[in-house]
Structure 1
Amino acid sequence: MKRLLACLSLVLCVLSGPALAISPDEILEDPALETRARALSAELRCMVCQNQSIDDSDAPLAKDLRVLVRERLVAGDTDAQVIDFLVDRYGEFVLLKPRFAWHTLFLWAAGPLALIAGIAAIVITLRRRQTTAAAAGENQPAPKLSAEEEKRLKVLLSSKDQS
């Protein structure tokens, strides 16, 4: 029971971290705008943490970016205009999911290309093993024994049984 409570409290502590990132003074009064702001914040990278969204980060720059997003939304910008403004200001690195464009083509293609290369390497390795095994005669059946060899084998096996 104590282990269960300890695990439960640990999980709650870990999961409550991102909830503490946004302070109450940042939250907008209009729930629709706040929902849009949270959705945009989840798509933007914290420039300090780099692998967290600004929605999850406690860094001061992340707070500034969250406030900036909310100011732009209150000013009447669309979601695309807010994203464009931040990309113009900080570069595409601010996006957690980069846009698909010619200059990001390698980034998008790297995963599938690595998967294809891995599968090709496995296939080539398996084929090489099969050809070397066939050349070494590992997959071929053992040759038949001659009549003399069979008699000798029977004698050896019968003498072993008698021992």
Structure 2
Amino acid sequence: MRRGWQTSALTSARSLLRALLFAAPVLAIGALLPPLQPLLAPAAVANEAAPLVADEVTEKRLLAISEELRCLVCQNETLAASQAELANDLRREIRGLIKDGKSDAEIMDFLVSRYGDFVRYRPPLKSSTLLLWLGPAALLLIGIFALFRYLRQRNVAIAATPLSADEARRADALLNAGSADNSDQHGNKS
């Protein structure tokens, strides 16, 4: 018959083995991917929007503007970093607006009027974006408060649970046996 800790150790070992068997192919792919990256790079470059204007100033303005805009597909990348097809279309559109002589502010206003403040990677602080700015801090505070309450209630419940008569006798016996052992040890050392 197995003891509780043996069963637990066996279950843990099986779980670890399953995790390693799952992780091995992922690690192998991760190890093989960097050497293959030069072969895969042309496919990534082919998806980029080709510059419509061979003007360095236009490209610098495009980069500066697209760093301030969010990819509407990826949502966690800037327009400059995204490789989504919509991002390529938006970069082409921005190049066209730059070529038409629009200022950076006019281009930004046009895109905000078309897609809303969400298109900005760093939306302005105003009443309509207040939840966006304060939401993460509020969620963190709520989480800390909930954790504090849970721990406090758990400690009260643990402290409020009285020992049964049998548990009290066993605790006294263990304490008395422990104090007798300690007095014997101290007596031998002196």
Mapping 1:61-80, distance limit 5 Å? 61-80=86-105
Higher helix share: 2
In 2, Cα distance between equivalents of 1:129 and 1:15: 55
Aligned residue for 1:9? Answer: 35
Partner of 1:30: 55
Which residue in the other structure is 2:149 paired with?
124
Residues 62 and 95, structure 2, Cα contact 8 Å, conserved in 1 = yes
Instruction: Give, in angstroms, the shift of residue 111 of structure 1.
Output: 0.5
Counterpart-to-counterpart distance in 2, 1:36 and 1:112: 34
| Cα distance change, pair 124–82 in 1 and its aligned pair in 2 (3 A) | same
- Normalised by the length of structure 1, the TM-score is 0.65
Counterpart of 1:43?
A: 68
In structure 1, runs of 5+ residues without a counterpart are: 155-163
Taking the aligned partners of 1:85 and 1:99, their CA distance within structure 2 comes to 16
**Considering only aligned residues, what root-mean-square deviation do their CA atoms show, in Å?**
3.8
Measure the CA separation in 2 of the matches of 1:53 and 1:18.
17
Distance 1:17 1:131, change over 3 A: farther
Deviation at 1:73, TM superposition (A): 2.4
Q: Does 1:86 align with 2:86?
A: no
Query: Can you give the 5+ residue segments of structure 2 that lack an aligned partner in the other structure?
Result: 1-27, 181-190
- Secondary structure of the residue aligned to 1:24 is coil
Report the AA paired with residue 7 of structure 1: L
Instruction: State the number of aligned residues.
Output: 145
| Shift, 1:40, TM fit | 1.8
Q: Is the 8 A contact 1:46 1:53 kept in 2?
A: yes
* CA deviation vs aligned residue, 1:49-96 (integer Å, no higher than 9, x gap): 55554432341x433321221222234433222111111122223223
* Paired residue type of 2:105: A
Q: Summarize the alignment of residues 80-159 of structure 1 with structure 2, pairs less than 5 Å apart.
A: 80-137=105-162, 145=172
Pair 10,125 (structure 1): closer, same or farther in 2 beyond 3 Å: farther
Equivalents in 1 of 2:97, 2:65: separation in Å? 11
Distance 2:70 2:47 in 1: 14
